[in-house]
Amino acid sequence: MGRLVRRPQYARDAHGGLRVRAPDGRFWALIEAGDRHRDARQWIEAEAAYRAALDRHGDIAIYWVQHGHTVKEQQRYDEAEISYRTACALGVAPHKVEEHLRFVMRHQGVSESAAPIRYHQRAASPDLVPGRMDVVCLARLLWHTDHPSALDVVRLLRESATRDALFAAMVRDPKFAAAALDWFDVLQEGDL
């Protein structure tokens, strides 16, 4: 008799259309708290709840939109733009995010021609549109920081059409040269 193998659980993100790992009960409790605070227009509390939920399951696209709304209401337009761009990168339907993203861009004096809105497309991983998690991950690796500034994140998302372009932009940034000194101490001249 064969062993029973437990299959991973998946759920469909109905709003974004991407298959994601099924979230746990703590995630849903945080989302419910965020929704309650949002409905009561308690933006700071709603933001904290959505942020905590996204820290657990950052791949559930539609909650990036909700997070974006909470920071937009606090007039933190750069952070709202990051959340909305991340939602786009993860596959939220354009009609659910475009109006909000354009609004926060206008309030920052940013034109869509200067910082195009890019949407998820089926592609090889390097060609995917980057989101906040990509910047944070690469910042850990390339810049030796867990907390890139909102200004750095929004700048990189605006200028990077793909994950490869994001990687290249982060290597060109002076923060990489400062952090890379540790790497260069390990390498021999012939290794480069």
Contact by Cβ (8 Å): 117, 106? no
- Confidence at residue 21, expressed as pLDDT on a 0 to 100 scale: 58
Q: What is the pLDDT of residue 8?
A: 36
Which pLDDT value is given to residue 14? Answer: 42
Question: Can you give the pLDDT at residue 121?
Answer: 82
Residues lower than pLDDT 50 in the chain: 1-19, 192
Query: What's the CA gap between 97 and 106, in Å, rounded?
Result: 14
Contact 130, 89 (CB under 8 A): yes
Q: Give the closest residue to 61 by CA, choosing from 91, 95, 101, 94.
A: 91
In tens, the pLDDT along 52-63 reads 999 999 988 999
Q: What is the per-residue pLDDT for 177?
A: 87
Query: How many whole angstroms separate alpha carbon 117 and alpha carbon 141?
Result: 26
The rounded distance, in Å, linking the Cα atoms of 87 and 69 is 12
List of residues 6+ apart from 88 with CB closer than 8 A: 94, 97, 101, 117, 118, 119, 120, 129
Position 88: which residue type? C
Domains of the chain plus CATH, in order, are 11-120 (1.25.40.10), 121-185 (no CATH)
Task: Give yes or no for a contact between 63 and 31, defined as CB atoms under 8 angstroms apart.
Answer: yes
**What is residue 87's predicted lDDT score, i.e. its pLDDT?**
96
